[in-house]
Amino acid sequence: MAERAATEVWFYHLERTGLEQALPELLEKTLQRGWKALVRVREIERLRNLDSWLWTYRDESFLPHGPDDEPGASRQPILLTTGFENPNGADALFLIDGAEPGDLAGFARCVVLFDGGDEAQLAVARSQWSVVKASGVQVSYWRQQGRGWEKQA
C-alpha cells in the first residue's frame, strides 16, 4: 500500500455565499474525486442542522451522508461528527464553525470553511492558519470572487 503524502490544508473564506451553499458544492467535488469526507463541527445542534440541510439543499442532487452516532457510520461517504476519530476512513476533513483539526494524519486534504462576516470565525481561522503554517504543512487560502473561488496564497 502506497504511503499518502502530507495533508494539504485549504482555508476557504466565505464572503459571497454562506456555508449552506459552499459546503454541499465542495462535498460534491470531493465525492467526484472518489474520496470520502468527514465534516467536523463543534456543536451537536449544528451537526443536526447540517444533516437536515444536506438532505434537502437541492432537489436534483443527493449527498449520501449521516451523523456518526447512527448505525453504519463507518460506511458513510460523508460523515458528520463532533469527534476526532475518522471512522469512515475519510480522505478529506472539513472543519466548520472553528472546529479543531486534531491529528491530520491519514487525510489528503483538510478544508477550513469560515464566514468572512463573523469576527469570531475570522479570529479562529487566523489562529489556525498561523499554527498550520508554522507546522510546515502545505497551506492555501481561497477567497470567493465574483467568478468563483480564487487562490490567494
Residue 41's domain is classified under what CATH number? 3.40.50.10110
| 30-82 confidence digits (pLDDT tens) | 999 999 999 999 999 999 999 999 988 887 777 899 999 999 999 999 999 99
Spell out the residues 6+ positions from residue 45 whose beta carbon is closer than 8 angstroms to its own: none
Determine, yes or no, domain membership for 3.
Answer: no
- In this prediction, residue 4 has a pLDDT band, given cuts at 50, 70 and 90, of low
Does residue 108 sit within a domain?
A: yes
- Domain of residue 17, residue span: 8-151
Answer yes or no: are the C-beta atoms of 47 and 150 closer than 8 Å. Answer: no
> Quick check: 99 and 81 in contact, CB under 8 A?
no
| 1 located within any domain | no
